Amino acid sequence: MAKLTAAKRKKLPRSSFALPGKGEGSQGKGAGSYPIPDASHARNALARVSQHGSPAEKSRVRLAVKRKFPGIGQEKNPGSKYRDAK
């Protein structure tokens, strides 16, 4: 995962957040939640929102990640030998 410092995070455009801020704060921008500037951060956003997000947040984050990184979240091996393990 690329290092995302606080300064770099503040410079990210709204499109780099799965849940953009509400227009508050300096320069009319809110901090936003779940930064998705790259694929690694997008995977992390999916993991974090599944742990801590409301159903509405989960839906919005999944849609934002799918829109920006279409290949993330799709099963790579649907015929896994462990699917039916007992």
Q: What is the predicted pLDDT for the residue at 76?
A: 60
Per residue in 23-52, pLDDT (tens digit) is 565 555 556 789 999 999 999 999 999 998
pLDDT at 73 > cutoff 80:
no
Give mean pLDDT, residues 61-73.
91
Instruction: Please tell me which residue, 25 or 2, carries the higher pLDDT value.
Output: 2
Quote the mean pLDDT of the chain.
Answer: 80
pLDDT at 86: 45
Question: 5: helix, coil or strand?
Answer: coil
> Would you say 74 and 39 are in contact if contact means Cβ atoms under 8 Å apart?
no
Q: Which residues of 36-75 are buried (b: 16+ CB within 10 A; e: fewer)?
A: bbeeebbbbbbeebeeebeeebeebbbebbeebbeebeee
**pLDDT 10s digits, 52-63:** 889 999 999 999
